């Protein structure tokens, strides 16, 4: 029997419906268009297009993996973030749309987009935060660090693919410890889930995202404490620090930052109205921190 786009779409939709997947037809359509390299218009306007048996087998393999809760982004090895497509690897977190709030928070506070800013991305993963910012700040350069060598390698490959290889440098290390320079912008998307929250994650996240990128320890605050001590020497006097935080963590994170000489300059909310980012800078332009060190 000849298979068409329409018949394989119906088959995949039935499979997703059978396991109680919401928006089964939409998810089936996304999987098929990705598998065949089609645009949405190609799918809608050509449901009677015949597909080959190898194409059908490829789609069925992807459906089978999706039924085991493997996200489509993991299957195809890429994810869009800030309108840019990033390659994924087993060592990187799958970027979430909510994390774009960090990019927005920085850009709202940069008075001059053409300034030659230096940006630091701590725990870079795919490099999505640094590279999204470089796409908006044409004269900026950046350094990204990740404790996992494979993640730093993936981010470096993304930078090369996107044309930012000469403006971004990547290394493996323990947060900011290997660095001595100061930066105008420091962004941070740490692991902030509590150990209990991590255990309750859906399989699509728990089984496919690296635990190290999600598990923030017993109270979810380990990474904030680790980076706190380094911030006063990494951030320039008028620098901007933006970190993503978990639900209900704003007060605790603000307390950690104030304890190392930081001032809190704002709280940013995501599209759902949830407090998503804490924005800070050095208190008194860093004078208090310098006096404490003396």
Element (H, E) at 104: helix 100-109
Whole-prediction pTM value?
Answer: 0.86
**Of 11-15, 86-90, 271-275, 288-292, where does mean pLDDT reach its minimum?**
288-292
Considering only residues 24 and 52, tell me which one the structure prediction assigns the higher pLDDT. Answer: 52
The per-residue pLDDT for range 126-142, each reduced to its tens digit, is 999 999 999 999 999 99
Q: Which tokens belong to 168?
A: 């971004």
- Per the DSSP assignment, residues forming a β-bridge with 197 are none
The residues, any chain, with a CB within 8 Å of residue 242's CB and separated by 6 or more, are 102, 105, 106, 185, 186, 187, 188, 268, 277, 278, 279, 280
* pLDDT > 80? residue 21: no
Q: What pLDDT score was predicted for residue 289?
A: 47
């Amino acid at each position: 029997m000849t298979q068409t786009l329409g018949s394989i779409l119906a088959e995949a939709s039935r499979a997703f419906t059978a396991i109680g997947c919401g928006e089964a037809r939409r998810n089936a359509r996304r999987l098929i268009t990705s598998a065949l390299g089609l645009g949405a218009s190609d799918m809608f306007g050509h449901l009677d297009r015949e597909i080959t048996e190898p194409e059908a087998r490829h789609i069925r393999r992807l459906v089978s993996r999706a039924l085991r809760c493997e996200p489509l982004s993991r299957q195809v090895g890429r994810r869009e973030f800030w309108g840019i497509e990033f390659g994924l690897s087993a060592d990187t977190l799958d970027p979430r749309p909510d994390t774009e709030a960090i990019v927005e928070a920085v850009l709202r506070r940069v008075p001059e987009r053409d300034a030659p800013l230096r940006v630091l991305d701590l725990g870079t993963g795919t490099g999505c935060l640094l590279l999204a910012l470089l796409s908006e700040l044409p004269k900026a350069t950046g350094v990204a660090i990740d404790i996992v060598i494979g993640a730093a390698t993936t981010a470096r490959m993304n930078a090369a693919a996107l044309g930012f290889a000469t403006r971004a440098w990547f290394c493996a290390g323990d947060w900011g410890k290997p660095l001595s320079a100061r930066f105008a912008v420091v962004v941070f998307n740490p692991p902030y889930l509590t150990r209990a929250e991590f255990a309750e994650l859906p399989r699509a996240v728990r089984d496919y995202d690296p635990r190290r990128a999600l598990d923030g320890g017993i109270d979810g605050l380990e990474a904030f404490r680790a980076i706190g001590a380094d911030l006063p020497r990494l951030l320039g006097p008028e620098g901007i620090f933006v970190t993503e935080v978990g639900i209900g963590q704003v007060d605790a994170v603000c307390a950690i930052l104030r304890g190392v000489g930081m001032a809190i300059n704002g709280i940013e909310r995501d599209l759902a109205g949830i407090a998503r980012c804490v924005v800070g800078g050095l208190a008194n332009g860093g004078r208090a921190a310098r006096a404490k060190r003396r």
